[in-house]
Structure 1
Amino acid sequence: MILIIAVMVALTIAFAASVLAPRLSERRIAFERSPDHPAAFGYKMAWLAVRSRDTAAVIEELGLLSAQPCNWRSGIGSVYDNRLGNDHIFVSPPVNGWTFVVGLALPYPVGRTFVDKCTPLLERLGRRFVEVQYFFAYPPIDLFAWARLLEGRVVRAFAITDTGIVWNKGRTTKEERALGLKLFDFRGIKGRKGDAGGEIILYPTEEHVLHLAQRWSLDPTELEDIDMAGHGLGYIALAPPTWRAERMRKAG
C-alpha cells in the first residue's frame, strides 16, 4: 500500500500546474515574488492549517529546508507540479489568522508496518501553536485523513485507505457527525451487498474533507473569495528527509 501511495503521489496530475507552475530552466527555478491574492487548493492535496500569523515560526517548527519567499501563484503551482511537488512545501502568508502548509510531501498516516511520521509532527506543532489541523484528500488511492489538535492535545485524528482505517484517535466530532462521517468508523454495512456481491463500503470523499476543513477553519478551495485576506508572500521550501516513509525495523 505504501508503495502505491508513494508512486501515486510522485505521479500526481496537477489540475492547475500548467497555469500556476513556476518558470523552470535547466539550471534554475524562478519562484515568483510579486505579492498576490490567495490561490485555491485542496483537491488531491495535503495541508496543515495552523492558527498563527507567524509564518517564520511555523517554518522553524516544521524544520523546513532552504525556505525562500514565494507568492501564492508560484507556491501552489509548485506543490501541484509533477516534479516539484515530490519534495516542496508551500507555507502561506496568514489568512484570517491561519497559516497554511501545503504539499504532498507532508507525512501521511500509514499502517502498522511503517513508522508514524505524522503524529509526532502534529504534536510538535501543537506544543507551540494553540490549534493545528491536518487534512489529506487523495481519491486515486482512496486516502482521506483529518486531525485536530487544541492546546497540544489530539482532539481527533482519523485516516482511511483502501485497506481500511489506519488512524483513529479521539471521539468523532460533532462536525464529522453533521456531515455523516460517523458512518466511516464502521467501514461498511453488514448484511447489505453491492452489485458485485461484496459488502457495501462507505468512503469519505474530497468534498467531505473540504467541508470538514470549512467547519474547523477555512475551505482552501474558497480562499480566492476572501477579500484581501492573505495578500502577500509566503515561502516555498524543501521537506526534510526525515518525513519520508520508513518501514518499521523488525526486532532482532
Structure 2
Amino acid sequence: MATGIIIGLIVIAVFALTFYKKRHLSEQAYYPSIVPSTVDKTIPDSAVGFGYKCMWFAVKTDNKNRLAEILKLKNISDCNWQVGIDKAYNGSVFITPTIDGWTLACGWGLPHGDTKEGIEKVKSILQTLSKEFENAQFFSTHRVSEYHCWIKATNGQIERVYSYLGESGENITIEGQPTEFEKNLKLANTFSDEAKDEKYFEREDLVWADEELLMQVAEHWSIDPTKLDERQDIPRSLGLLGQR
C-alpha cells in the first residue's frame, strides 16, 4: 500500500511539473519570423500595424531613448517598422516612432501583465513612466486564453486597471473608476456582489472583454495600433529595437 501511495505522489509531482512547464512555455509562445534576414532594418519604412496577441506601453512622449532607458532595454539599435514588429513578436521590444504625440513600446520582451504579480510589475513601470511623461498606459491581449488587460496612469498614480481572463471566466484585477469610454459599457465584474448569483453570468446586458474591445479602449485613450498601417500621415521613419 505504501508503494502505491509513493507511486501516486510521483505521478502527481510529474503532472504538476509538466503543467508548470507548459504554462511557462505558453507564456513564451513567440511567433515564427516572417521577415527575411536579408531585410535592412536601417532603411526607414511605413508604419506596420500590430496589437493582437501582444502587449505594449503607450507613453505621451517623443523621447524614445529615455523610454528605452526606463524600460531597461539592452542591445539597442535603430530599426524600421517591418523588422521591429517582427522581432517584437519574437521576444524583443520595439519602440515605435512617435505618433500623434504618443510613443509605443511593444513586444513579448515586456512584462505580460497576465497575473496579479505581473500586473503589479506593470503598475510599477507605469508609475515611473507617468511621473516623468505625465501619461502612460499598458495593454495586453491574447485570444487563445482570452486574456485582456488595460491600465492607465497619470502623474505617477494608477487611475484604472481592468483585466479579464476568459478561460476562467473571471477578472484578475479591477481598480479605479471606469474611464469616460468605459462608462458607456456595462463591463463584467466578477468581484461584484451581483456576481455571487450564478444568473449574473447569463445576463445579456453585460460586456465581456475581448481583443476588439481592448483596441477600442486603446483608441479612445491613445492609439489603436492595429490601424497604423492604414494611415497615410505617418512618415517613413525608424524606431528602436532592444531586449530586456
The normalised TM-score by structure 2 is 0.79
- What SS does the corresponding residue of 1:224 show, helix, strand or coil? helix
| Residue identity opposite 1:238 in structure 2 | Q
The one of 183, 186, 189 equivalent to 1:185 is 189
- What SS does the corresponding residue of 2:227 show, helix, strand or coil? helix
Q: Structure 1 residue 10 and structure 2 residue 28: aligned?
A: yes
The one of 66, 72, 75 equivalent to 2:84 is 75
Q: Structure 1 residue 205 and structure 2 residue 205: aligned?
A: no
Note the C-alpha offset of 1:3: 5.8
User: How many residues end up aligned between the 2 structures?
Assistant: 220
Note the C-alpha offset of 1:172: 1.6
| Residue identity opposite 2:55 in structure 1 | A
Note the C-alpha offset of 1:110: 4.6
- What SS does the corresponding residue of 1:118 show, helix, strand or coil? helix
Aligned residue in 1 for 2:6:
none
Report if aligned partners of 1:108, 1:117 keep a CA contact under 8 Å in 2: no
Q: Which runs of 5+ in 2 are unaligned?
A: 1-18
1:131-177 Cα offsets, whole Å, 9 max, x none, are: 10110010111211001112222110121223422222211222123
Are residues 74 and 9 of structure 1, via their aligned partners in 2, closer, same or farther at CA, if it must alter by over 3 Å? same
Report if aligned partners of 1:133, 1:146 keep a CA contact under 8 Å in 2: yes
Report if aligned partners of 1:33, 1:233 keep a CA contact under 8 Å in 2: yes
Report if aligned partners of 2:113, 2:140 keep a CA contact under 8 Å in 1: no
- What SS does the corresponding residue of 1:184 show, helix, strand or coil? coil
Are residues 40 and 114 of structure 1, via their aligned partners in 2, closer, same or farther at CA, if it must alter by over 3 Å? closer
| Residue identity opposite 1:171 in structure 2 | Q
- Whichever of the two has the greater Rg, that structure is 2
The one of 223, 232, 235 equivalent to 1:227 is 232
| Residue identity opposite 2:171 in structure 1 | I
Report if aligned partners of 1:37, 1:231 keep a CA contact under 8 Å in 2: yes
Aligned residue in 1 for 2:12:
none
Are residues 71 and 189 of structure 1, via their aligned partners in 2, closer, same or farther at CA, if it must alter by over 3 Å? farther
Aligned residue in 2 for 1:40:
49
Aligned residue in 2 for 1:173:
179
More strand by share: 1
Distance 1:157 1:115 in 2: 9
Are residues 111 and 79 of structure 1, via their aligned partners in 2, closer, same or farther at CA, if it must alter by over 3 Å? closer
Report if aligned partners of 2:88, 2:107 keep a CA contact under 8 Å in 1: yes
Report if aligned partners of 1:109, 1:166 keep a CA contact under 8 Å in 2: no
- What SS does the corresponding residue of 2:173 show, helix, strand or coil? strand
Distance 1:56 1:154 in 2: 24
Distance 1:79 1:60 in 2: 17
Report if aligned partners of 1:93, 1:231 keep a CA contact under 8 Å in 2: no
Report if aligned partners of 1:109, 1:167 keep a CA contact under 8 Å in 2: no
Aligned residue in 2 for 1:23:
37
**What's the Cα RMSD here?**
2.9
The normalised TM-score by structure 1 is 0.77
More helix by share: 2
Q: Which runs of 5+ in 1 are unaligned?
A: 25-29, 240-252
Aligned residue in 2 for 1:61:
70
